[in-house]
Chains A and B, each alone.
Chain A
Amino acid sequence: MERAKWILAGLLVLVAVGAVQTPLRAEAPESTATPKELVATYRTLADTILGANKTESNLVASILSTTYHHAEATLAMVHASLKARKPAKAELEKLAALVAQLGNEGDAAVGGVRKRLVEGGHHHNAAEEHQGTYDEGFVIVTRSAKKVFLEAAGNIGKMTESPKAAALDAEWQKVKTQYTELMTAR
């Protein structure tokens, strides 16, 4: 990611330099200021870089939102099964997996993309990673939130033998609270 940014930046700089090269050669510059065309190009590039970060944040929020609503729907299915006294193991495990995905900011495939970004040197929350607030490459889900989600996921997964609606709701409440907190904070 960082490499791509620098390549893009390099190209833009080359274009800009090309645009100002003739007058620079034709007459000696009277000012030591960076040519305004270069500054303007850099400003545009900054917009792109910052925009990409914002887009990344929005995309991850969408992944979380999709996962959360999928989980919510699955929870309703579990409740329906429980109410009908039908087996709910498959739905419960699906719910556990979805809640775990909230904690992991996506499934393993998303994790693969995140790893690629980290490999390229891109850390969305570099300073916070250093402080231990975020895991490497994570964008929205803090380490403490991750723990909450994963603990809830494990507890939900363990309910498959004798699921109780009240216990399930208690776990879901933890998920909901944590999710809402994260999404409100961004």
Chain B
Amino acid sequence: MRLSSVRAGMALGMAVLAFLSLSCGGGKPDRHQQNAAAHPSAAVRHHFQFVDVAQEAGITRLLLAGRPGKDHLLDSAGAGVAWLDFDRDGWIDAYLVNGWKLSGKRVIEKGRNALYRNRGDGTFEDVTDRSHTGGEGRWGSGVAVADYDGDGWPDLFVTSFGANVLYRNRGDGTFENVAVRAGVESPGWNTGAAFFDADGDGDLDLYVAAYIDCTLEEVLKAQPTLAWRGVDKVALGPFGLPGAPDHFFVADGKGHFREATQEAGLKDEALAFGFGVRAADLDSDGDPDLYVANDSDPNYLYRNEGGGKFREVGLWSGAALSANAAAQAGMGITLGDANGDGFPDLFVTNFAEDYSTLYRGDGKGFFQDISEESGVAGITFQPMSWGTVLADFDCDGDEDLAIANGHIYPQVDRHPELGNHYAQRSLLLENTGGGHFADATDEAGPGFLPARVSRGLAAGDYDNDGDLDLLISNLDASPTLLRNDSVRSGACLTVNLEVAPGSGTVLGTRVSITLGKRTLMRDVSSGESYLSAHDPRLHFGLGDAKVLDRLEVRWPDGTRTVRTSVPVQPILTIRK
């Protein structure tokens, strides 16, 4: 654990208060008592504390986002962010995707992506130029992180409006764009992407979602023409604009990919407006399935049938629509175990004035919208939501929810009677147990106070103190780095998985930890949220557990590593 002096002071203060509480109360304080002691005016949920430290940390790259009026949806779609340890020094680094700045029909500036190397002292160094990761002048969109060539170094796949970029990590601090050579340029408006071993051959295949089929000329000529609620003209779409097909690329194991969308059963028949993508084993059969969040179209759930073949089962698996059988405006995805039953659940962010949806998974590939009963529906109804993560921010043993918000129409601010705003506060929902959530945003510290027009969100423990921090991209602004200074309700565990170079991938690995009757589950993915990628290490909150009764690692090839009676420790590295 490493704390800055301020944080160390806070921790000491908390410890003293906790001790006082113990002494006066004559018993062990629960987390709420501790918290109330630390914050006398606080209600029961006042233990979260997030502080925006982006400026002092040196993460300052401005996200360019089209025109101020957001005349085209591309202007307002924003871009993703990622955590990766590109230099393998044990400190995760930050990558920010960037767009372009327009004025009317002119391109004013082509934004540059940014790679920030973590110095390990709470600050970052901009190494974009040195590492050659500026984005090749493309209008960037999303990012996925994976060691696609199995050389042991994490690579970056950056989707674009235009040709995609595949930055191969050379292992010497520099990258090279090998998208053409690899065969994954696929020009278009590409959005979410996921690397996963679709056919079980040991190398990583790639799915890339696409949004609208349009040209730069159309973007530049766009005017706000859609009459919105009869009060203003806003950017047209996505209805009224043609959808673009998603793509699937199968790897040959030698660094090259071949488009195999149709033969794999992944053809985007509806030309849905695709955004977030998440690969994971959703039916517990050992192979990765694929979930795609579509804007205004039913979401896709492609079940892996084995042998690299997929079948779209979204509608009858319950994961495509809301409980009202309505297609929603899917943006971002996060996978976790919201209700602690050991099976993966899905959370999908949606448009304003419609709730974001929590789908409870049964571990057999079926899902049920439990947004209403979980409390999520009411909390998420008003804002327009994008990046998200299910993560245990207070280490109490259940997963909370963070959601980045911001409207797409700046015109909203001209109509206060509509009760919404262009800039919106991000949300923090605390899991109060059993998959029930309460809005903890107001008590989540100063980092959650300002309203911003946020998009991408990635969780990662950048300061290696055991808890998860948040990196969020904001339109026409610099990013937010929310350092997690929350009072912890238990021990934190970071699981670092490693495979030897050339011997497979960690993507798709699932780790299950049994604590008494509870099982905590996490898996490794190349990205999720909204066009973003979290810390590749797995983070667990253990509550008051002192020993992990059982820890099971299920590697992508089906082999398992099992350990029993593991003493609680901050970091656990497991090599295959």
Q: Name A residues whose Cβ lies closer than 8 Å to a Cβ of B.
A: 93, 96-97, 99-101, 103-104, 107-109, 111-112, 115-116, 118-119, 121, 135-136, 143, 146-147, 150, 153-154, 156-158, 161
Contacts and interface: CB of A to CB of B under 8 A. Distances in A.
B313 A154 contact: no
Contacts, number: 70
13 contacts: A93-B313, A99-B316, A104-B315, A108-B269, A109-B269, A111-B269, A115-B243, A115-B270, A119-B239, A119-B241, A143-B326, A154-B318, A158-B364
Given A99-B316, A109-B269, 13 more contacts: A96-B316, A103-B325, A104-B315, A112-B270, A119-B239, A121-B240, A135-B326, A135-B327, A143-B326, A147-B325, A154-B316, A156-B316, A157-B366
Nearest to B327: A135
Contacts of B332: none
B41 interface: no
A150 B271 contact: no
Contacts of A104: 298, 315
A135 B298 CA distance: 12
Interface string B319-343: 0010011110000000000000000
Interface in B280-320: 297-298, 312-313, 315-318
Contacts of B313: 93, 97, 157
A93 to B, nearest CB: 8
A123 B223 CA distance: 24
Contacts of B325: 103, 135, 143, 146-147, 150
Contact of B315 (A100, A109, A119, A136): A100
A97 B240 CA distance: 29
Nearest to B365: A157
Interface string B262-275: 00000001111000
A154 B298 contact: no
A143 B269 contact: no
B315 A150 contact: yes
A68 B325 CA distance: 19
A157 B239 contact: no
Contacts of B326: 135, 143
A95 B318 CA distance: 15
Interface string B219-254: 000000000000000000001111100000000000
Contact of B316 (A97, A115, A118, A161): A97
Given A103-B325, A150-B316, A158 B366 contact: yes
Contacts of B271: 112, 115
A119 B239 CA distance: 5
A146 B241 CA distance: 26
B315 A115 contact: no
Nearest to A135: B326
Contacts of B243: 112, 115
A153 B316 contact: yes
Most chain B Cβ neighbours within 10 Å, of A96, A108, A116? A108
A147 to B, nearest CB: 4
Given A157-B313, A157-B316, A158-B366, A143 B324 contact: yes
A169 to B, nearest CB: 18
Interface in B367-386: none
Most chain A Cβ neighbours within 10 Å, of B243, B312, B315, B327? B315
Contacts of A103: 315, 325
A153 B269 contact: no
Nearest to B321: A150
A115 B295 CA distance: 12
